[in-house]
Amino acid sequence: MSFFKGFFYAGRGLLSALSERNFRFHLCAAATVIFFGAKFYSFRISEWAILLLTCAVVLSLECVNTALERLCDKVCPERDDLIKKCKDIAAGAVLIAAIFAAAIGVVLFWNIEKFAEIAFFFSEPIRLILMIVGFAAEILFIFLPRKKHNNQGE
């Protein structure tokens, strides 16, 4: 396999991950915090590194969880207690990362003065409408069913 084929397969894997509602949720959450961080906060480089790394960890663990679930379903399509435990543990890893990501978000974003600035920014009707449309688009992106991708044929 050539070096560049690896990027192709990884990209195909990310497209496959987009078929998962939880991955889409975490992707939208990451996009939202990055937008708000860039627009309203003057984060230092270390804070940006923490924020971006936190997003990457949650999204990466969601991909690993999805891959493990699919592998388990392929290897053992019938109900099996050990397979269930493996899938639950992998989902638990994502939950741990998501809880700590939320805590990091609180630490980085909790600023009453910034909240007032954000509220003032969105008090202009066109900005408020654009924000509502943006969030509605995220909700549709998250909850509308997606076609499952089959990544076999390497």
Mean pLDDT, range 19-29, rounded to an integer = 95
Considering the domain delimited by 44-110, tell me its CATH architecture.
Answer: Orthogonal Bundle (1.10)
* Whether 108 contacts 37, CB under 8 Å: yes
pLDDT (0 to 100) of residue 2: 85
Task: Please state the length of the chain.
Answer: 154
pLDDT above 60: residue 108: yes
Average pLDDT over residues 105-124: 94
How many angstroms separate the CA atoms of 59 and 113, rounded?
30
The pLDDT tens digits for 32-82 are 999 999 999 999 999 999 999 999 999 999 999 999 999 999 999 999 999
> Which of 62, 69, 138, 154 is the catalytic position?
62
pLDDT at 148 over 90: no
Mean pLDDT, residues 103-132 taken together: 94
Question: What residue spans define the domains of the chain?
Answer: 44-110, 111-145
Amino acid sitting at position 141: F
Whether the per-residue pLDDT at 10 is higher than 50: the answer is yes
Quick check: 127 pLDDT over 60? yes
Residue at 9: amino acid letter: Y
Is 113 a catalytic site residue?
no
Gap between the Cα atoms of 23 and 18, Å rounded: 6
The structure tokens listed for 149 are 């991708």
Entry pTM: 0.87
**Contact present, 62 and 23 (Cβ < 8 Å):** yes
Checking if the pLDDT of 103 tops 90, the result is: yes
CA distances from 147 to 48, 63, 150 (A): 34, 16, 10
The residue with tokens 């924020």 is: 51
